Amino acid sequence: MRNTLKLAGYGVALVLGLGLGLYKGEEYGRTRAGIVEFAETLRRDPFESIVFEEGTDEAKVDLIRAQLAFKDRQTAKGAPLASRGETDYVIGYARLAVFSELKGDSVSAADYLQRAIAHCLKGKRKDDCDAEKLRYLADLIDHRKALPEKDAK
Amino acid sequence: MKFLKTAAVIAGYPAIFVVGLLAGGYVGAYVIHGNQVTSSSADPDFERAAFEYALESKDEAIRARALNAHLEYLNWTAGDERSFPSYLASDRGLTLARLSALWQRLGDQTQSALYLEKATSYCPEMKWRHCDGNELLINAARLDRGAIEEIFNKKR
């Protein structure tokens, strides 16, 4: 009887320890992965904004493809800070479609537009998924159109 | 004797608790998040993050080492998202321009000129609208200011 009690006590201690350890350890691991990701973002961000400002359309196409590949990799490894939303893909593919169209490559433009729409339909704003709206968004981001004037109230 | 035995049994509980704590902590931190970051130096993501910390350093020697390590790192990123040609060339060009600015600060004109020449040699691949030594140095200075300053007090 006393032996059984003793063993049960050890079992309870082990389970409590494991539980608390898992909880705290998971928190630590997540924070650590987040810090690594943050350091990476801190360096990429100014670099990419320089390429965006200084680059020609060709450089911007490479930049967008690099950003999408980066997002794919982040999503694949379940990075804690990466957004799970579809917005990056929608905007990225919409911009790629416009760049292809400007270059005169209508086949890949249509392909990119299809992908943008497919990602858009997976997201939350399903009403805004037509080609025209995506095109407008891409034009705004790449400074082909001025930002709309604010409505006077 | 009986007293010692009881003490051993009582001490056993916290001991087993600590064993569980360590095992759980290990699983939580390194098994669950192991694919996101590992402490192995062979992990490219971790290596990269380490460079990126060093690049923000105020010590010129550490910066120079980190910039050179970054250049070396870019040589074996094939297949990585950095392997898009103009993206990679821009990264190399800007890193070399930062090294040029660094040697300028340290007062070594020959090294500075050498690195700037190497940096501008990437210009055709970088596909920028204007690309010359001056343009590269201006943007290298933006990177040298550090990300946080660049984001919060944007001066152009």
- Residue B151 binned pLDDT confidence (cut-offs 50, 70, 90): low
Q: Do residue B123 and residue B64 come from a single domain?
A: yes
Look at B123 and A41; give whichever has higher pLDDT. B123
What length does chain A have?
153
* Contact: B27, A13; criterion CB under 8 Å: no
> Which residues on chain B are in Cβ contact (under 8 Å) with A49?
150
Distance from CA of A12 to the nearest CA of B (A): 8
**B82-133 pLDDT, tens digit each:** 778 899 999 999 999 999 999 999 999 999 999 999 999 999 999 999 999 9
- Window 52-81 of B, Cβ < 8 Å to A: 52-53, 55-56, 81
pLDDT at A72: 85
pTM assigned to the model: 0.77
Tokens matching residue A96: 């790629």
Look at B34 and B85; give whichever has higher pLDDT. B85
Q: Do residue B28 and residue B53 come from a single domain?
A: no
Q: Do residue B74 and residue B143 come from a single domain?
A: yes
Q: Where are the domains of chain A?
A: 1-44, 55-144
Taking the CA atoms of residue A99, residue A105, residue A110 and residue A111 in that order, the dihedral angle to the nearest 10 degrees is: -90
The answer, yes or no, to whether residue B154 has pLDDT greater than 50, is: yes
Q: Do residue B28 and residue B49 come from a single domain?
A: no
The answer, yes or no, to whether residue B40 has pLDDT greater than 60, is: no
B33 → closest Cβ in A29, A63, A70: A29
pLDDT at B38: 47
> Which residues on chain A are in Cβ contact (under 8 Å) with B131?
54
Do A97 and A112 touch, CB atoms closer than 8 A?
yes
Residue B154 CA to residue A107 CA, distance in Å, equals 39
- Determine the structural domain holding residue B114 and report its residue range: 44-152
DSSP string, A38-68: HHHHHHHHHHHHHHHHHB-HHHHHHHHHHHH
Look at A29 and B78; give whichever has higher pLDDT. A29
Q: Do residue B60 and residue B22 come from a single domain?
A: no
> Which residues on chain B are in Cβ contact (under 8 Å) with A19?
20, 24
DSSP string, B41-52: TT-HHHHHHHHH
Do A26 and B128 touch, CB atoms closer than 8 A?
no
The dihedral built from the CA positions of residue B73, B75, B78 and B84, taken in this order, carries a sign that is positive
* Contact: B127, A40; criterion CB under 8 Å: no
Q: How many CB pairs under 8 A join A and B?
A: 176
> Which residues on chain B are in Cβ contact (under 8 Å) with A33?
33, 36-37
Q: Do residue B76 and residue B109 come from a single domain?
A: yes
Q: Do residue B20 and residue B75 come from a single domain?
A: no
Q: Do residue B2 and residue B61 come from a single domain?
A: no
Instruction: Mark B20-57 as b/e (b = at least 16 C-beta within 10 Å).
Output: bbebbbebbbbebbeebbbeeeeeebbebbebbbbbbe
* Contact: A33, B16; criterion CB under 8 Å: no
Residue B61 CA to residue B43 CA, distance in Å, equals 24
Residue A17: C-alpha distances to residues A7, B15, B68 (Å):
15, 10, 46
Q: Do residue B55 and residue B126 come from a single domain?
A: yes
Look at B80 and A120; give whichever has higher pLDDT. A120
* Contact: A47, B90; criterion CB under 8 Å: yes
The answer, yes or no, to whether residue B41 has pLDDT greater than 50, is: no
* Contact: B17, A13; criterion CB under 8 Å: yes
B35 touches chain A (CB under 8 A): yes
Q: Do residue B81 and residue B145 come from a single domain?
A: yes
